[in-house]
Structure 1
Amino acid sequence: MARNANSSVFLEEWLRVVSGSSVSSPLVKQNSAAPSARSIIQAWSEIRESLQSQRFDTRYLQALRALVSSESTIHVADPQAKLLIAILSLKDVSLPYESCTLVMRLLYVWIRKAFRPSQALVGSAVQAIRGVVVDDGRSNLQPVLVAQSVLVAELKVLTLELLCRLLEGEGSLVGSREELVPVVLAGIGYGLSSSSDVHYVRLLDSLFGCSIWLKDGSVTHGLMVLHLVEWVVSGYLRSNYVNKMSLFANEALEMSKGNYTLFTVLMAAAGVLRASAAGSSGGSQNLEVVSELRNSAEKRLEAVAQLLCFAIALARCGTVSPSPPLLLCLASALLTQVFPLGNIYESFCKDPIGPRLIWVREHLSGVLFKESGAITGAFCNQYAKANEENKYIVENMIWDFCQNLYLQHRQIALLLRGVEDTLLGDIEKIAESSFLMVVVFALAVTKQWPNPTVSEERKMETSVKILVSFSCVEYFRHIRLPEYMETIREVISCVQENDATCVSFVESIPAYASLTNPKDLFTQRLEYEWSRDDVQTSRILFYLRVIPTCIGRLSASAFRRVVASTMFLYIGHPNRKVARASHTLFVAFLSSAKESEEEDERNQLKEDLVFYYMERSLEVYPEITPFEGLASGVAALTRHLPAGSPAIFYSVHSLVEKASTFNADESQGRKSDPGNQILDLLLRLVSLVDIQVLPYLMKSLAQLIIMLPKERQIMVLGELYGQVAESDDVIRKPSLVSWLQSLNYLCSNNRTQGSGSGPTIDTSNQLAARL
Structure 2
Amino acid sequence: MARKANNSLFLEEWLRGVSGSSVSSGLVKQNSVPSARSIIQAWSEIRESVQNLKFDTRYLQALRALVSSESTIHVADPQAKLLVSILALRDVSLPVESYTLVLRLLYVWIRKSFRPSQALVGSAVQAIRGVLDDRRNLQPEPAFVAQSVLVAGAFACVPSLSGDLKALCLELLCRIVEEKYSLVGSQEELVPVVFAGVGYGLSSSLDVHYVRLLDFLFGIWLKEEDPRGSVTHGLMILHLIEWVVSGYMRSNNVDKMSRFKSEVLETSKANYTVFAVFMAAAGVLRASTGGFSSGAQSFEIISKLRNSAEKRMESVAQLLVSNGNVTLPTTQGKVPLLKCVAIALARCGSVSSSVPLLLCLASSLLTQVFPLGQIYESFCKDPIGPRLNWVREHLSDVLYKESGAITGAFCNQYSSASEENKYIVENMIWDFCQKLYLQHRQIALLLRGIEDILLGDIEKIAESSFLMVVVFALAVMKQRLNPIESTEIKMETSVKILVAFSCLEYFRHIRLPEYMETIREVISCVQENDATCVSFVESIPAYDSLTNPQDLFTRRIEYEWSRDEVQTSRILFYLRVIPTCIGRLSASAFRRVVASTMFLYIGHPNRKVARASHTLLVAFLSSAKESEEDERNQLKEQLVFYYMQRSLEVYPEITPFEGLASGVAALVRYLPAGSPAIFYSIHSLVEKTCTINTDPWEDPQGRKSDSGDQILELLLRLVSLVDIQVLPYLMKSLAQLIIKLPKERQNMVLGELYSQVAESDDVIRKPSLVSWLQSLNYLCSNKRTKGSAPGPTVDTSNQLAARL
TM-score normalised by the shorter chain: which range applies? 0.5 to 0.7
User: Deviation per CA, 1:360-413, whole angstroms, max 9, x where unpaired?
Assistant: 9xx9xxxxxxxx999995898699575243454699959969995999599879
2:230 matched to 1:227?
Answer: no
Give the whole-Å Cα distance in 1 for the aligned partners of 2:437 and 2:764: 66
**How far is the alpha carbon of 1:100 from its aligned partner?**
3.3
The AA in structure 1 aligned to 2:12 is E
2:21 matched to 1:12?
Answer: no
Secondary structure (helix, strand or coil) at the match of 1:171 reads coil
Report if aligned partners of 1:43, 1:66 keep a CA contact under 8 Å in 2: yes
Could you list the runs of 5+ residues in structure 1 that have no partner in the other structure? 315-324, 364-371, 496-501, 519-526, 554-561, 660-675, 704-719, 735-763
The AA in structure 2 aligned to 1:273 is A
The AA in structure 1 aligned to 2:172 is L
2:509 matched to 1:505?
Answer: yes
Secondary structure (helix, strand or coil) at the match of 2:59 reads helix
2:172 matched to 1:167?
Answer: no
2:282 matched to 1:254?
Answer: no
User: Deviation per CA, 1:63-111, whole angstroms, max 9, x where unpaired?
Assistant: 2233223334332223322322343345776756544332211101112
Secondary structure (helix, strand or coil) at the match of 2:306 reads helix
Within the candidate set 126, 139, 142, 2:140 is matched to: 142
The AA in structure 1 aligned to 2:516 is Y
2:575 matched to 1:570?
Answer: no
Give the whole-Å Cα distance in 1 for the aligned partners of 2:44 and 2:292: 50
Alignment of 1:492-571 (within 5 A): 505=509, 507=511, 511-516=515-520, 529=525, 531=527, 570-571=580-581
**How far is the alpha carbon of 1:478 from its aligned partner?**
12
The AA in structure 2 aligned to 1:387 is N
Report if aligned partners of 1:47, 1:60 keep a CA contact under 8 Å in 2: yes
**How far is the alpha carbon of 1:206 from its aligned partner?**
0.9
Corresponding residue for residue 204 of structure 2: 194
Corresponding residue for residue 219 of structure 2: 209
Q: How many residues align?
A: 614
For the structure 1 residues 765 and 191, does the alpha-carbon distance in structure 2 shift closer, same or farther, using more than 3 Å as the test? same
Within the candidate set 295, 301, 304, 2:310 is matched to: 295
Give the whole-Å Cα distance in 1 for the aligned partners of 2:202 and 2:676: 83
Q: Which deviates further from its counterpart, 391-400 or 504-513?
A: 391-400
**How far is the alpha carbon of 1:46 from its aligned partner?**
2.0
Give the whole-Å Cα distance in 1 for the aligned partners of 2:170 and 2:37: 37
Q: Which deviates further from its counterpart, 447-456 or 163-172?
A: 447-456
2:736 matched to 1:731?
Answer: yes
Give the whole-Å Cα distance in 2 for the aligned partners of 1:114 and 1:565: 70
For the structure 1 residues 423 and 511, does the alpha-carbon distance in structure 2 shift closer, same or farther, using more than 3 Å as the test? closer
For the structure 1 residues 696 and 225, does the alpha-carbon distance in structure 2 shift closer, same or farther, using more than 3 Å as the test? closer
Report if aligned partners of 2:5, 2:14 keep a CA contact under 8 Å in 1: yes
Give the whole-Å Cα distance in 1 for the aligned partners of 2:104 and 2:50: 18
Report if aligned partners of 1:130, 1:162 keep a CA contact under 8 Å in 2: yes
Give the whole-Å Cα distance in 2 for the aligned partners of 1:54 and 1:396: 51
**How far is the alpha carbon of 1:257 from its aligned partner?**
1.5
Secondary structure (helix, strand or coil) at the match of 1:696 reads coil
Give the whole-Å Cα distance in 1 for the aligned partners of 2:90 and 2:658: 104
Give the whole-Å Cα distance in 2 for the aligned partners of 1:161 and 1:104: 18
Report if aligned partners of 1:65, 1:102 keep a CA contact under 8 Å in 2: yes
Secondary structure (helix, strand or coil) at the match of 1:229 reads helix
User: Deviation per CA, 1:511-538, whole angstroms, max 9, x where unpaired?
Assistant: 53443369xxxxxxxx994757989x97
Give the whole-Å Cα distance in 2 for the aligned partners of 1:563 and 1:375: 26
Q: Which deviates further from its counterpart, 647-656 or 266-275?
A: 647-656
TM-score, with structure 1 as normaliser: 0.58
Alignment of 1:482-493 (within 5 A): none
Give the whole-Å Cα distance in 2 for the aligned partners of 1:181 and 1:137: 22
The AA in structure 2 aligned to 1:251 is E
Secondary structure (helix, strand or coil) at the match of 2:180 reads helix
For the structure 1 residues 765 and 34, does the alpha-carbon distance in structure 2 shift closer, same or farther, using more than 3 Å as the test? closer
2:80 matched to 1:75?
Answer: no
Corresponding residue for residue 151 of structure 1: 150
Could you list the runs of 5+ residues in structure 2 that have no partner in the other structure? 158-165, 364-371, 474-491, 547-560, 566-571, 686-713, 740-761, 770-804
Secondary structure (helix, strand or coil) at the match of 1:454 reads helix
Give the whole-Å Cα distance in 2 for the aligned partners of 1:35 and 1:173: 33
Give the whole-Å Cα distance in 2 for the aligned partners of 1:465 and 1:74: 44
Alignment of 1:59-138 (within 5 A): 59-89=58-88, 98-133=97-132, 138=136
Give the whole-Å Cα distance in 1 for the aligned partners of 2:636 and 2:399: 38
The AA in structure 2 aligned to 1:139 is N
Give the whole-Å Cα distance in 2 for the aligned partners of 1:218 and 1:152: 24
Give the whole-Å Cα distance in 2 for the aligned partners of 1:69 and 1:647: 72
**How far is the alpha carbon of 1:49 from its aligned partner?**
2.8
Corresponding residue for residue 759 of structure 2: none
Corresponding residue for residue 270 of structure 1: 279
For the structure 1 residues 279 and 33, does the alpha-carbon distance in structure 2 shift closer, same or farther, using more than 3 Å as the test? same
**How far is the alpha carbon of 1:291 from its aligned partner?**
3.2
The AA in structure 1 aligned to 2:147 is Q
For the structure 1 residues 679 and 509, does the alpha-carbon distance in structure 2 shift closer, same or farther, using more than 3 Å as the test? farther
For the structure 1 residues 573 and 234, does the alpha-carbon distance in structure 2 shift closer, same or farther, using more than 3 Å as the test? farther
CA RMSD of aligned residues (A): 6.7
Give the whole-Å Cα distance in 1 for the aligned partners of 2:657 and 2:524: 42
Within the candidate set 228, 237, 240, 2:246 is matched to: 237
**How far is the alpha carbon of 1:205 from its aligned partner?**
0.4
Corresponding residue for residue 39 of structure 2: 40
The AA in structure 2 aligned to 1:692 is L
**How far is the alpha carbon of 1:44 from its aligned partner?**
0.7
| Identity across the alignment (%) | 31
**How far is the alpha carbon of 1:148 from its aligned partner?**
1.6
TM-score, with structure 2 as normaliser: 0.56
The AA in structure 2 aligned to 1:145 is F
User: Deviation per CA, 1:709-729, whole angstroms, max 9, x where unpaired?
Assistant: xxxxxxxxxxx99xx9xx999
Secondary structure (helix, strand or coil) at the match of 2:715 reads coil
Give the whole-Å Cα distance in 2 for the aligned partners of 1:10 and 1:175: 18
Give the whole-Å Cα distance in 2 for the aligned partners of 1:473 and 1:681: 47
Give the whole-Å Cα distance in 2 for the aligned partners of 1:637 and 1:281: 65
Within the candidate set 179, 183, 194, 1:184 is matched to: 194
Give the whole-Å Cα distance in 2 for the aligned partners of 1:105 and 1:654: 86
Q: Which deviates further from its counterpart, 168-177 or 681-690?
A: 681-690
Secondary structure (helix, strand or coil) at the match of 2:73 reads coil
User: Deviation per CA, 1:17-59, whole angstroms, max 9, x where unpaired?
Assistant: 5556565545x12254443322221111122233444554554
Give the whole-Å Cα distance in 1 for the aligned partners of 2:123 and 2:147: 16
Give the whole-Å Cα distance in 2 for the aligned partners of 1:5 and 1:294: 20
Report if aligned partners of 2:246, 2:287 keep a CA contact under 8 Å in 1: no
2:643 matched to 1:655?
Answer: no
Secondary structure (helix, strand or coil) at the match of 1:731 reads helix
For the structure 1 residues 700 and 113, does the alpha-carbon distance in structure 2 shift closer, same or farther, using more than 3 Å as the test? farther
